[in-house]
Structure 1
Amino acid sequence: ILQWDGSGFWILMKRLDRDSFHWPDSPDELQKVTLKEMHWFCDGLSLTPKGAFEECHPKIVV
């Protein structure tokens, strides 16, 4: 990860003991991720785990 903090760049790296990160094979697989999903990714979790619930935000509260 290359990050600009206003005074210079930070290079963030993570070495995995097992397996590897899934990297997109084509432009169709690219997707935007939230900060929470980025934390999941850096922890080695899948961004689309089977059986996971989608986040739901109610629009009308009575």
Structure 2
Amino acid sequence: MIIDYTKVEQIYLVCGKTDMRKSIDALAAIIQDQFNINVFDNCLFLFCGGSRNKYKALHWDGDGFLLLYKRIEGGVIQWPRTTQEVRNISQRELRWLLEGLTLEQPKAIQKVAPAAFC
């Protein structure tokens, strides 16, 4: 099964290094114990190893957990290294991250609230 990340309500990035040997239960425990987030919500949780060329995605699909694991062969992910932090990111930021870009893109056109016409 493939996760359509455009359908999840929240995308959480667990900053810093995560031991890529951790199982579903261990990753779910990190989310619940360290960050007090319900792992059974319609969310996608992302973890990255120390070499920044591997990441795992954890998602509850209603009857079980999906654990995706990817190893990048030609580059690294620009993963935030702040430890003990979880960040809520947008689908746009996730796309940037998985394409090898940083989460902060200074030249990207930023979303703005519409101004009232006078």
TM-score interval (norm. to shorter): 0.5 to 0.7
Query: Counterpart of 1:46?
Result: 102
TM-score, structure 1 length as denominator?
A: 0.65
Query: Counterpart of 1:23?
Result: 79
Query: Does the CA-based 8 Å contact 2:96-2:103 persist in structure 1?
Result: yes
Give the 3 Å change call, closer, same or farther, for CA 28–55 of structure 1 in structure 2.
farther
> What is the aligned length?
62
Query: Does the CA-based 8 Å contact 1:14-1:42 persist in structure 2?
Result: no
Query: Does the CA-based 8 Å contact 2:78-2:100 persist in structure 1?
Result: no
The alpha-carbon deviation at position 10 of structure 1 amounts to 0.8
Note the residue ranges of structure 1 that are not aligned, 5 or more in a row.
none
SS of 2:59's partner is strand
TM-score, structure 2 length as denominator?
A: 0.41
1:26-37 aligned at under 5 Å gives the runs 26-27=82-83, 31-37=87-93
Identity %: 31
The alpha-carbon deviation at position 4 of structure 1 amounts to 0.5
Note the residue ranges of structure 2 that are not aligned, 5 or more in a row.
1-56
The alpha-carbon deviation at position 15 of structure 1 amounts to 2.0
Give the 3 Å change call, closer, same or farther, for CA 30–12 of structure 1 in structure 2.
same
Deviation >6 Å, runs of 4+: none
